[in-house]
Structure 1
Amino acid sequence: MNQIKKNPVIIIDGSLYLYSSYYGFRDFNKASGEPFGAIYGILKMIDNILKKYEKSKKIIIVFDSPQKTFRTKLFKEYKKNRSPMPNSLSIQIPPLFEILKKIGIKILTMPGIEADDIIGSLSYKLEKKGEKILIISHDKDMLQLVSPNINIFNKKDNRIITPEVIKERYGIKPKEFIDFLALIGDVSDNIPGVPKIGIKTALSLLHKFSNIKNIYNNIENIKLLPFRNAKNIAIQLKDNKKQAFLSYELAAIKLNIPININSKEIILKKYSSQNTFQILKSYIFKIK
């Protein structure tokens, strides 16, 4: 298995872990009642990653922008089913950023750009310069970024995702995961997909045709395939062609966002668990 093991550039999906930390440590409050669970969870996660990859000295954490993105403009229902960020979480972001800066972790956020697009563009840029990249995320959208030089560490199942893992699990190439999402949709992001096209059918179509363009180029042949309800599948695809390609555009992570940063800027010059949690303790108890 082509797994990146030595000295990768570590890119953390900060927005994803901000929420999981918030919900995972909701009972963590200062004496004043002010919450700090999200801060604690993020710092604990970073500490664990740096212990696991102790030889890696390049690390960056990426966060979403609060502004609307091109996807919202393209499809006003995009992520509409998500609740606004709780105030008890948003008030933790400024002190979190301050602590991350103190311990030397590079933070990257860009106005109007989602974290996914920053991560994709930064990974692609660094890969072209010969770097190995390890993305820390369990967001399935990220699977489209996987390559021999870009792996994903899914903390939920403690597994490194490589092209071989995706091939074994889905039978498709990483880039074809965009087509997969375009067909089945994504409830969490409110990407519509094609109605009545489930995981099994979508994968069968991609195994046969590789991508959504080829599927529509062969639309008249789909009803002849030895699939269950092949005629109905062809009808659903025909009736929802515009929606399928819209879903593809929504699901595709951008790789061309201009990012003025290089690997030297994300070198972690000095880090220690003791210092990190002493800074956190100082914040919690207001130690000067």
Structure 2
Amino acid sequence: MYYINKKPVIIIDGTLYLYRSYFTFQYFKNDQENPYGAIYGILKTIKNILVKYYNSKKIIIIFDSSKKTFRNKIFTEYKKNRPKMPNSLYIQIKPLFYILKEIGIKTLSIPGIEADDIIGSFAHKIEKSGEQVLIVSCDKDMIQLVTNNISILNTSNNEIITPSKIQKTYGINPLEFIDLLALMGDKSDNIPGVPKIGIKTALFLLQKFSNIQNIYNNIEKIQLLSLRNAKNIYTQLKKYKDTALLSYKLAKIKLDIPIYINSNDIFLKKICFEKLSNMIEKYNIKQNKHL
């Protein structure tokens, strides 16, 4: 397993783990039949990160807000296939944020800004200050953020994603992952991409031309490549050029969102276990059974 040399600043993709926790532990209910699976899952994630993986003292959880973002303005279909938040999850949000605040875990969300963009901008800011960053996420969109000082912990398989890992797996560098998503699309976010271009074709083109702009600068060469259905791929690329460029804008995580906190502001002095126990008792979380 790859280990980071220094204690990193840990950024948790809160929205992703909120939903993962909700669906994984959706049958967890207290004596009043109120669900608490999302609360439990987030607390368990934090515990695993701090105890089992990294003894870091700087940690923040970043969440989406309910407001629409610039992506919705430039493409009204963006994330349109996402269902509305279930009420049984919604009622856990306020208690969750209260518990996190009480035990000393910092959270951040910005109205109208997607969590991915906050994560990217904060990670970029921390990296420039000379510290290492560990992003905790299973979202493939985050791969584009990876640098020599920004890594990703995929908790699904406990894998640390680094530039060399990405190069070995995909044959491209982290930034080119934006181009990959722009070409092949992303169903989870409803990013259209270029129809009939799958991951194998997209990777072949990027390994040949490096990025989407170079692909279009050399578009006439596409039909001459030793690639199955090269002429059809050429036709699709020409026909859907605007869609591909739009998809690039949708897939690219912003790094310039103003973040008015630094790593010292998220320093975890000490988790207040007494308060945590009080919160567990208050919300009737069955800690003996699940924690």
TM-score (norm 1): 0.96
Deviation at 1:107, TM superposition (A): 0.4
Deviation at 1:283, TM superposition (A): 2.2
Deviation at 1:3, TM superposition (A): 4.7
2:235 paired with 1:235: yes
2:133 paired with 1:133: yes
Query: Per the alignment, in what secondary structure is the counterpart of residue 10 of structure 2?
Result: strand
Deviation at 1:278, TM superposition (A): 4.7
Query: Per the alignment, in what secondary structure is the counterpart of residue 248 of structure 2?
Result: helix
CA distance in 1, matches of 2:179, 2:142: 13
Long gaps (5+) in structure 1: none
The residue identity in structure 2 corresponding to 1:16 is L
Query: Per the alignment, in what secondary structure is the counterpart of residue 175 of structure 2?
Result: helix
The residue identity in structure 1 corresponding to 2:232 is N
- In the other structure, the counterpart of 1:48 is 48
2:262 paired with 1:226: no
- In the other structure, the counterpart of 1:249 is 249
- In the other structure, the counterpart of 1:262 is 262
The residue identity in structure 2 corresponding to 1:104 is G
2:113 paired with 1:113: yes
Long gaps (5+) in structure 2: 286-291
Q: 1:54–1:157: structure 2 CA closer, same or farther, 3 Å change rule? A: closer
Query: Per the alignment, in what secondary structure is the counterpart of residue 134 of structure 1?
Result: strand
Deviation at 1:271, TM superposition (A): 1.8
The residue identity in structure 1 corresponding to 2:99 is I
Query: Per the alignment, in what secondary structure is the counterpart of residue 81 of structure 2?
Result: coil
The residue identity in structure 1 corresponding to 2:6 is K
CA contact (8 A) 1:3 1:162 kept: no
CA distance in 1, matches of 2:119, 2:197: 29
- In the other structure, the counterpart of 2:289 is none
2:59 paired with 1:59: yes
Deviation at 1:223, TM superposition (A): 0.4
Deviation at 1:54, TM superposition (A): 4.5
CA distance in 1, matches of 2:42, 2:274: 15
Query: Per the alignment, in what secondary structure is the counterpart of residue 107 of structure 1?
Result: strand
Deviation at 1:34, TM superposition (A): 1.2
The residue identity in structure 1 corresponding to 2:192 is P
CA contact (8 A) 2:144 2:174 kept: yes
Q: For 1:77-116, what aligned pairs fall within 5 Å after superposition?
A: 77-116=77-116
The residue identity in structure 1 corresponding to 2:215 is I
CA contact (8 A) 1:6 1:55 kept: no
Q: Deviations over 1:236-265 (max 9, x none)?
A: 000000000000000000000001001111
Q: Deviations over 1:152-174 (max 9, x none)?
A: 00000110000011001100000
CA distance in 1, matches of 2:24, 2:118: 25
The residue identity in structure 1 corresponding to 2:148 is P
Query: Per the alignment, in what secondary structure is the counterpart of residue 148 of structure 2?
Result: coil
The residue identity in structure 2 corresponding to 1:105 is I
CA contact (8 A) 1:152 1:162 kept: yes
Deviation at 1:74, TM superposition (A): 0.7
CA contact (8 A) 1:2 1:164 kept: no
2:136 paired with 1:166: no
CA distance in 1, matches of 2:50, 2:278: 17
CA contact (8 A) 1:121 1:255 kept: yes
Query: Per the alignment, in what secondary structure is the counterpart of residue 236 of structure 2?
Result: helix
- In the other structure, the counterpart of 1:72 is 72
Query: Per the alignment, in what secondary structure is the counterpart of residue 157 of structure 1?
Result: coil
The residue identity in structure 2 corresponding to 1:235 is T
2:28 paired with 1:28: yes
Q: For 1:158-197, what aligned pairs fall within 5 Å after superposition?
A: 158-197=158-197
Q: 1:98–1:214: structure 2 CA closer, same or farther, 3 Å change rule? A: same
TM-score (norm 2): 0.95
CA distance in 2, matches of 1:237, 1:135: 34
CA distance in 1, matches of 2:70, 2:204: 31
